[in-house]
Amino acid sequence: MRIILEKGLLVTLLGLGLAFSTAVLAQEFPDKTVRIVVPYPPGGFNDTLARVVGERLSKTWSQAVLIDNRPGGNTTLGNNLVAKAPPDGYTVLITPLPFAALPGLYGAQLPYDALKDFSPLVLAANTQNVLTVRNDLPVNNVKELLEYARKNPGKLNYGSTGSGSSNHLSMELLMRMTDTKMTHIPYKGSAPATLAMLSGEIDTLFDNIPNVLPQLKAGKMKAIAVTGTQRSVLFPSVPTVAESGVPGYEVNVWFGMQLPAGTPKPMVERMNRDIVRVLKEPEVIKKFRDQGVEVIASTPVAFSLLLQSEVTKWTQVIRDANIRVE
């Protein structure tokens, strides 16, 4: 009996010691360069988020924060890099909405488990996609676009930044909910997709508001709807897709950050507090809002719940639409 009690006490003391040492390490973190992996090329809001947060965290921590752009494999290259990294807080992943579509696109071929191999850190911000059309297309709203698509089956081309991207999924969801069909033409990023629109190679494009804002302000393309539940403050006259005759339609384009699974909870909580503090700086809020992006700055738990629901939602959309990796 005495031996059992002593063993139990030893286990308890060891557990307390480990928890104490982990908490101490979290407070002393970081003592070397922290890397933020962006699974996209430079440019676009994913890169902006990493650089804005990274610059301010380096001042907070008095330590270098490296932005590591790792595009490739439809973002799986960068994602997998972080999934396999040591769970010590020194490798962070920028995680946008398309992350939740990859399990449905790749299934067992995905080199990591999207919900088991990462530790959600923070849901940083949220924006909408905006549905745009060529200026010379005889379409000025969603109803006219859908009617044009039905009268000209297969003739309308829509662009995206790749299979499983938020703009690809936005259009697939619209077509599924309205029983319409357009031809998908994927591009390697927002810039080439936008150029394709301006040159007449594609007819319509969903894209993140920050990515097409300059072209819309310059009048080079038409905005006919946004994908959220409310109109964008940047385009108050542009209705939502749901308002435009597709009730229940909603796509929120979110941006988060994650760590490798197994990162100690005190470390996650410490990093979350520091990042939330950065995101809530008035200068950061204004900078993002000017691009049509709203700061969220959530808890790790809230981001975890969102990831679970989004993986379920987009896996079903991908199966229903029979989307294949192109």
Residue 2 has pLDDT above 70, yes or no: no
Q: Which CATH architecture describes the domain 31-124+257-321? A: 3-Layer(aba) Sandwich (3.40)
The pLDDT score that the predictor gives to residue 261 is 98
pLDDT confidence of residue 140:
96
pTM of the model: 0.84
> What is d(CA 230, CA 216) in angstroms, rounded to the nearest whole number?
19
pLDDT of residue 22 exceeding 90 = no
Q: How far apart are the first and last CA of the chain?
A: 65
- Round to whole Å and give the CA distance between 61 and 17: 26
pLDDT confidence tier of residue 320, bands split at 50, 70 and 90: confident
Chain position carrying tokens 């190679």 = 201
Q: Which residues of the chain are in CATH 3.40.190.150 domains? A: 31-124+257-321
The predicted structure's pLDDT at residue 122: 98
Q: Does the pLDDT at position 305 exceed 70?
A: yes
Q: What is the pLDDT of residue 188?
A: 81
In the chain, ranges of CATH 3.40.190.10 domains: 128-226
pLDDT average, residue stretch 178-188: 92
Number of residues assigned to the chain: 326
**pLDDT per position as a tens digit, 139-161:** 999 999 999 999 998 889 999 98
CB-based contacts of 225: which residues, under 8 Å, 6+ apart?
Answer: 130, 131, 141, 142, 238, 239, 240, 241, 243, 244
Provide the H-helix boundaries in the chain: 2-28, 45-61, 76-83, 102-106, 142-151, 166-178, 190-199, 209-217, 265-279, 282-289, 300-321
Across the range 81-90, mean pLDDT stands at 98
**Which pLDDT value is given to residue 164?**
84
The tokens describing 234, both together, are: 């940047």
Mean pLDDT for the chain?
A: 91
* Cα Rg, the chain, nearest whole Å: 22
CATH annotation of 128-226: 3.40.190.10
Q: How confident is the model at residue 210 (pLDDT cuts 50, 70, 90)?
A: confident
